[in-house]
Amino acid sequence: MHQIFKSNEAGKLEELEKPERNCWINIVAPSSEEINQIADQYGIPLEFLEDPLDKDESARIERDDDTEAVLIICDFPIVDEDDIHYASFETIPLGMIMTKDYFITICTIDSSIIQSFIKNRIKGFFTHMKTRFALQILYMISTQFLRHLKRMSRQTDDIEKELHESMKNKQLYDLMGIEKSLVYFLTALKSNKLVLDKMMRQHIVKMYEEDQDLLEDVIIENRQGIEMAEVHSNILSGMMDAYASIISNNMNIVMKFLTSFTIILTIPTMVFSFYGMNVRLPLSDIPIAWVLVICISFGIAGILGFVFWKRKFF
């Protein structure tokens, strides 16, 4: 599926039936036939259309000298709907292709970032300003990373409160889901940083002064996302280690209690075993000998229990 848009004189986005100069072509989950057709129609290298559809493709920027087309691949975050835990995210690549006449975006899903532009929610957006359009998308991606990082921080706080009340496997699995998401975020943010630094240093795409300022804002937002992700990752790693120690300590306390209780119960068992022998034993001539035996055995067990309690074995 692909749509064609172009900004009118009033700055509003209009959908077109046929491509025109300075239009925007949005491609979502194309088939192999569509990719070949689009590559031939717009004179774009085939790999420029195929690479952004690879989920494992790393962020990068490159230029084709023959067609003078520029490809920018960057990763953006999405919620992992397939994960059973509510706190899981992943990242997928988004491709932006700038040619002399067209601006093309291509992705495997219809992302909310692209929908923000289609629904005219972004100020100062024009399809003929290709470099600024690409920088606006990069800025939206950086802010979306920050928004999801804040969401993960709130979820971590909620899970921590649940762990204080009841330490169950579900909360630990949720923390592991957040930790996995942070790894994806850090990897994606650092890859995007390399693309932004390359755009700043090498001037692969033509920029005006306002575009330069916008690029600096994107770099600042991306750096803030990296720092926030690293802080959350360090906090979460320390929290997981702390709870692992708490679980181990709780297990030791339970084992110590059960061991002490077993030792105490061993005393009556030993006494009753002695008096179960078929031989002559002390107190065997007394009618209430069994009461005395019970009192003696439980008395010894009580004394032993008191000693354990004083030594904080319980």
10 and 55 fall within a common domain: yes
Write down the number of H helices and E strands in the chain.
7, 7
Given 203, 226, 248, the domain boundary residue is: 248
175 versus 223: the higher-pLDDT residue is 223
239 and 130 fall within a common domain: yes
pLDDT average, residue stretch 30-55: 91
148 and 227 fall within a common domain: yes
Total domains, the chain: 2
Residue 280, SS3 per DSSP: coil
74 and 138 fall within a common domain: yes
State how far the Cα of 81 lies from the Cα of 89, in Å rounded to an integer: 8
What's the pTM?
0.79
**Containing structural domain, residue 286:** 253-311
State how far the Cα of 41 lies from the Cα of 98, in Å rounded to an integer: 15
pLDDT at 279 over 70: no
237 and 267 fall within a common domain: no
Task: Report percent pLDDT > 70 for the chain.
Answer: 91
pLDDT in tens, 128-174: 899 999 999 999 999 999 999 998 888 888 887 877 766 667 777 88
Which residues face 93 on adjacent strands? 75
CATH number, position 140:
3.30.460.20
Q: What is the pLDDT of residue 193?
A: 93
Task: Report percent pLDDT > 90 for the chain.
Answer: 34
State how far the Cα of 226 lies from the Cα of 146, in Å rounded to an integer: 9
pLDDT in tens, 199-243: 888 878 888 888 889 999 999 999 999 999 999 888 888 887 877
Residue 253, SS3 per DSSP: helix
pLDDT average, residue stretch 11-22: 88
